[in-house]
Amino acid sequence: MTSMKSASGPSNTGLTVLKHLKYEHLIAGVTGGVTSTLILHPLDLIKIRFAVNDGRSKIPQYNGMRSALSTILKQEGFKGFYKGVTPNVWGSGSAWGFYFLFYSSIKTWIQGGNTKTPLGPTMHMIAAAEAGILTLAMTNPVWVVKTRLCLQYGRGVDPGSPKQYSGMVDALTKIYRSEGIRGLYKGFVPGMFGVSHGALQFMAYEEMKNFYNEYRELPIDTKLETTEYLVFAAVSKLLAATVTYPYQVVRARLQDQTSGYTGTWDCISKTWRFEGARGFYKGLAPNLTRVVPATMITFATYENVSRYLLNRQNVENLSSV
């Protein structure tokens, strides 16, 4: 990454990525991720339960969204919809925060510090992929914990069982003790494939914003209205989620402690053998129902919070001159 030249080819790229790190992007990303997670976590929980339902394990069976909602409410109460919410908040908040921080920093570095320089689809995907890999390496243990907590179906929890968890810290501790560091990084390989999801999404999002500003004959870094951010975020997410959804099914099944898969290829082959192509798209409907509005909330919140923080910083810098 450090050997990449600026897309516009300036000769002054002694600038490093670190010089372009701005905490405003981190704060704005965390705010967006936490906000969308708190609102839409129940749909995330249902998506995970659909994804791991391979028809062979002894887990509750749901016939659809309405069946899942009524069954969870009846068997687990309203609190059942928020199982795993703590690691989800931590995971989504930190993931979006770090992703926006890394992505904006890498993108600005490639541009040589000039945010008005267009990058094109390929460079947008490279910047997003690098940001995704860095973020995944930091947050994968949190996603393992979130999946495990979402897949605890009963009301009661046996604190003595190594596969039952009373909360986020308890889950982290037990997984590490019983499975080691490898247990905390289950699903990391399909998660790496998931980097393509973020790369596709950010490429589509950035290209749509750039095309729209160029159509209006404005600089590509011109800020948009909230409704415009919402539309571009929704379209980019629909595209990326539909194309890359199968990796999320594989990842969730590997992270489920009751699955019994020996690895990524074993999970893929068994899913194909017993369920066919449809098996890789289980939970897609509740997933789209969740991720599209979640992305709209996250991106609109991020864009507005980052604009506010960066403008305030610029005002403070001018007043101190």
130 is in which domain, residue-wise?
19-320
How far apart CA 153 and CA 137 sit, in angstroms, is 28
How far apart CA 78 and CA 81 sit, in angstroms, is 6
Pair 158, 164: CB distance under 8 Å: yes
Note whether residue 86 is domain-resident: yes
Note whether residue 93 is domain-resident: yes
Count CB-CB contacts under 10 A for residue 3: 4
Domain total for the chain?
Answer: 1
Fill in the DSSP letter of residue 186.
T
Q: What is the percent of the chain where pLDDT is above 70? A: 87
Q: How does pLDDT run across 221-244, given as a tens digit for each residue? A: 899 999 999 999 999 999 998 888
Q: What is the pLDDT of residue 153?
A: 63
Count of alpha carbons within 13 angstroms of residue 213, beta-carbon side:
19
Q: Is 21 helix (H, G, I), strand (E, B) or coil?
A: coil
Q: Which residue has the higher pLDDT, 12 or 40?
A: 40
Q: Is 97 exposed, middle or buried (0-12, 13-18, 19+ CB in 10 A)?
A: buried
Note whether residue 3 is domain-resident: no
**CATH classification at residue 312:** 1.50.40.10
Note whether residue 146 is domain-resident: yes
Is the per-residue pLDDT at 5 higher than 60? no
Note whether residue 187 is domain-resident: yes
How far apart CA 284 and CA 156 sit, in angstroms, is 29
Note whether residue 42 is domain-resident: yes
Note whether residue 4 is domain-resident: no
Distances in Å between the Cα of 269 and the Cα atoms of 75, 135, 193, 265, 283 are 33, 28, 17, 6, 19
| pTM, 2 dp | 0.71
Note whether residue 97 is domain-resident: yes
